[in-house]
Amino acid sequence: MRELKIGIIQQHNIADTNDNMRRLSKNIESLAHEGAQLIVLQELHNSLYFCQVEDVNNFDLAESIPGPSTDFYGKLAKDNNVVIVTSLFEKRAPGLYHNTAVVIEKDGTIAGKYRKMHIPDDPAYYEKFYFTPGDLGFHPIQTSVGKLGVLVCWDQWYPEAARLMALSGAEILIYPTAIGYESSDAKEEQERQREAWITVMRGHAVANGLPVVAVNRVGYELDPSKQTNGIEFWGSSFVAGPQGEMLYRASNNEEGTQLLVIDMEHSEQVRRWWPFLRDRRIDEYNEITKRFID
């Protein structure tokens, strides 16, 4: 059994970026003290979810990579001997920005990064205004704790993204995310949406024989434009095993941290029982690259 001790931090963010980072720092140190080897943070964890509005001033939140945040989390990783999955607003060049996950190795260096590939554009989620689609492909990031298949939020709905990570040797799928309820939806519809979000990622675990970690933000964030009623982020961060089994599920309305132990060798056994990769008809999948088959 090759154990991996994973820490997750589900947090409610406020307008004070320094306070958000201070609380993350405290929780990272606490989880590392408990023995965490890998800590996963939520999407765009330094700030409020600014994509509720289209405002050019929000580009001031972006930063270079390497930059201040990678320095900050790099020091935390090194001081606490832990790998950290961060989620940052990257300024690549003037007028060119990405939603970028950066994996920090336990020695404080950058192990690799992934730029979010699927970019939504919906009321209160105006991400196409801010983020250029990623161009780094679906490639796992090699770290001292294994090959991490890091994807970001909207990517989680796409089986192709999970599959390509798995085919490239990912040992675990990781999703920093920021998703919540639309207040005008009925409670029953809100429940269906949250459960669909969990179910689709558990499906990725089953289809690829890999554990899945999803870390979401929690709590209410106001829409500055007041065009909507804001977002109530639904939390529910979770960890599932390679058969989709639920190993942990966080509250849907409260902050929290959790340390979990995953057997990283179990995927090998599951894939022997269910050899989905062996039985793929790769000679018949050419049309998958089409937008729609008429």
For β-strands 212-216 and 238-240, DSSP reports them as antiparallel
Contact 144, 106 (CB under 8 A): yes
**Residue 22, SS3 per DSSP:** helix
**Residue 82 backbone dihedrals phi, psi, to 5 degrees:** -140, 145
**Residue that is written with structure tokens 């994996």 in the block:** 103
Residue 27 has which token pair?
């929780």
**Is 128 a known active-site residue?**
no
Q: Is 288 left (phi over 0), alpha (psi -120 to 50) or beta?
A: alpha
Rounded CA separation 203/158 (Å): 11
**Residue 230, SS3 per DSSP:** coil
Q: Which of 5, 91, 106, 116 is catalytic?
A: 116
What would you report as the CA-atom Rg of the chain, rounded to the nearest whole angstrom? 18
Q: Which of 5, 43, 105, 113 is catalytic?
A: 43
Rounded CA separation 46/156 (Å): 21
**Is 153 a known active-site residue?**
yes
Q: Which of 90, 113, 153, 221 is catalytic?
A: 153
**Distance linking the first and last C-alpha atoms of the chain:** 48
Residue 83 has which token pair?
């790998």
Rounded CA separation 266/175 (Å): 20
Contact 50, 61 (CB under 8 A): yes
**Is 284 a known active-site residue?**
no
- List residues with catalytic annotation: 43, 116, 153
